[in-house]
Amino acid sequence: MIFKQRSNSVKGARTAENRRSPVIISHLVLVFSGMLLMLLLTQWFLPPEKRWFGRPTTTATGPASGFGRATSAKPWGELTATPLGLSRPDGYFTNLPAASGKTEWFFRSLRPDEVPSLLESLALEGIPKEFLSDRSNWEQVSGGLRVTPPAGVVIGISGAARQKLYARLAQWPENAQHDPYRIGGFAEWFGDSGLPEEKIDLLRKLVYTNDEMLCFADVAAFAQLSSPPETTLLIKSLSRVPTYFLKLHIEPETKLEPLLNYWGKGGNPRDARLLFQSLSRADSDISVSYLLPPFGRLRLYTYPQADDPRKAERNDSWTAMNFFNRELDDRFLDPDYAMKVLASEYVRVGTKEKRFGDIVVFVAHNKATHMAVYLAEDFVFTKRAGLFEPWLIMKIKELISASLPDRPFEIRIYRLKTFPPVAALSPREQELLD
């Protein structure tokens, strides 16, 4: 009996305790929830870079916020690229030939019985379909067929059909589409062109894309519907050269040694270190042009000097092979000599191993078609041949787009076997650095 009473009392105590446990746990949950809520609310009043959440992030191509940028994992650091339309000198337009009075499309090896299949693949509509479906508008010429469409037909082609048609025409050098005007951006090229609004609307109908690049190949159609001064304004806008302004961002948290190892080839490493340290303290940017060796730094975004007797010959291979030279070597004006030196003084590396100063060579049919100096990411330093062609920064994918008519081609990467002489220190400079 006594045992039963004690047992009952113990059970009662346990029951009471079990009833209190959920209450205690509930109180503890409320207390901890309140504390956590207070911490989270407090976080909102802290600077973004000190919060536990919502911190700004960056990519290798540019910061997402002005605060707390993370150090880039790329060896070249944190780059931002601003597209530019580099204007040509006025002398470029003094002796321009008059715009063609007609548009001509040449289709190599196309037979008359193949025209319907071509038109079906283009999905043309309206006036363009009606005109091109008329066999009397097709002329049999040596090597293929030629058609001369009026301006109304050219303008009436839809954007999708234009892209398909012009991709086909780009295969043959007889067509303007083989080497069209390449536009960095519609607003940047035509926003201040001086053309009236109706002509800007006309241009919107005629531009098309080729491998992600905005292009234009219908000067003749535009000229048929415009005055000579308007056509000149168009040519001036189209003739702007697409390029980029590159900046490197350095912040207090940025590790400087990797940047110095990557960009230090361009000049005195002591000066580079001092400059990077100063930029780090200021959490600031610097133009990549300042990190190039003297050859590139003095020429970027410029045109050949008027008093240079060989100004029209300064091309991509001469530029690439002289990039690190203290003294210019005009033997590189001979492409065969450039290839000979490339084979003897450079070593070929993998495309994924490329770094600042390497030479990017496009080879088609066992011949180098273009050379450029690799900078970082997808950007290269280069120049085309010609009196009115500037030294500029391009993307490799843009060079690929320009090389499509030369298919098949391959891209090779070459690196100097010995350290570039421009970055070699004199004994006096070495003493100052030590």
Tokens of 267: 């000049």
> Can you give the pLDDT at residue 58?
37
> Can you give the pLDDT at residue 28?
55
Nearest of 316, 337, 292, 284 to residue 391 by alpha carbon: 316
Query: How far apart (Å, rounded) are the C-alpha atoms in residues 41 and 47?
Result: 13
> Can you give the pLDDT at residue 408?
85
Query: How far apart (Å, rounded) are the C-alpha atoms in residues 153 and 137?
Result: 12
Q: Which residues contact 179 (CB under 8 A, 6 or more apart)?
A: 173, 405
Query: How far apart (Å, rounded) are the C-alpha atoms in residues 301 and 303?
Result: 7
Tokens of 402: 């320009």
Query: How far apart (Å, rounded) are the C-alpha atoms in residues 44 and 225?
Result: 60
Which strand (E) or helix (H) includes residue 284?
A: strand 284-287
Helices 115-122 and 159-169 pack at an angle, to 10 degrees, of: 140
Tokens of 268: 């005195």
- Cis before 97? omega within 30: no
Laid out side by side, the sheet with 78-86 consists of 78-86, 241-250, 284-287
- Residue 327 — φ and ψ, nearest 5°? -120, 135
Tokens of 36: 């956590």
Nearest of 238, 237, 189 to residue 84 by alpha carbon: 189
Those residues of the chain that have pLDDT short of 70 are 1-72, 266-268, 419-434
Contact by Cβ (8 Å): 389, 303: yes
Helices 197-206 and 228-238 pack at an angle, to 10 degrees, of: 50
Contact by Cβ (8 Å): 338, 321: yes
Beta strands 208-210 and 213-216: pairing type? antiparallel
> Can you give the pLDDT at residue 219?
95
> Can you give the pLDDT at residue 422?
47
Query: How far apart (Å, rounded) are the C-alpha atoms in residues 100 and 72?
Result: 50
